Amino acid sequence: MTTPLEIVRGLYAAFAAGDIPAFLAALAPDIHWCEAENFPLADGNPYRGAEAIVQGVFARLGEHFDGFRVEPGEFVGGGDFVTMLGRYRAVGKHSGKPLDVQVAHLFWLQDGKVVRFQQMVDTKAVAAVLAAPEAVAARAPKAKAKGRPASKGKAKGKAAPRSANKARGKAPAKRPATAQRKPAPKRRR
């Protein structure tokens, strides 16, 4: 009899070989498949059944990534529950940035078939790889123009720096008694 660990290892071997029929053969007909929240393919969560997974996940990976692959690392499991700890590696199709993130896949098995799947991945890192360069530039904070004089007066809700008050001929603000600086103790040699 094939163990749950062997079944899950077989899934990754089939995926790496591009043998989608062998991959799907290990899934229950009514599998409940969830991509991590905020992952680009999570818009169809939960995917129900093999056809939904093929169309909603596998067929769409190429829209976002070039050379997408899963590198299994460690398999941990007991009974009908298996976790794979590994990495996703690819290149963002629109950004050209490399993807190299940790991933955890959780599998629940029943009667020798995978009945439930949950992906865990750093979706912020994935989003950074998928962002097109112009989108990243649009979100970047604007640099201050050189040679531009600093604004005069008080910033919103903040007092002017002490040096600014001194330059204007104003006395520096006094600190409350509890905040007065005390001289540092002398060190003994």
User: Residue 45 domain-assigned?
Assistant: yes
User: Residue 95 domain-assigned?
Assistant: yes
Residue 136 has pLDDT above 60, yes or no: no
User: Residue 188 domain-assigned?
Assistant: no
- Confidence grade of residue 78 (pLDDT, cut at 50, 70, 90): confident
User: Residue 178 domain-assigned?
Assistant: no
User: Residue 174 domain-assigned?
Assistant: no
User: Residue 130 domain-assigned?
Assistant: yes
pLDDT at 170: 56
Task: Record the pTM.
Answer: 0.69
Structural domain range at position 97: 4-134
pLDDT at 173: 55
Please say whether the beta carbons of 56 and 73 come within 8 A: no
Task: Write out pLDDT tens, residues 141-153.
Answer: 454 445 554 545 4
User: Residue 17 domain-assigned?
Assistant: yes
pLDDT at 143: 47
pLDDT at 113: 97
Task: Write out pLDDT tens, residues 2-51.
Answer: 999 999 999 999 999 999 999 999 999 999 999 999 999 999 999 999 99
Q: How many domains does the chain have?
A: 1
**CATH number of the domain encompassing residue 22:** 3.10.450.50
User: Residue 146 domain-assigned?
Assistant: no
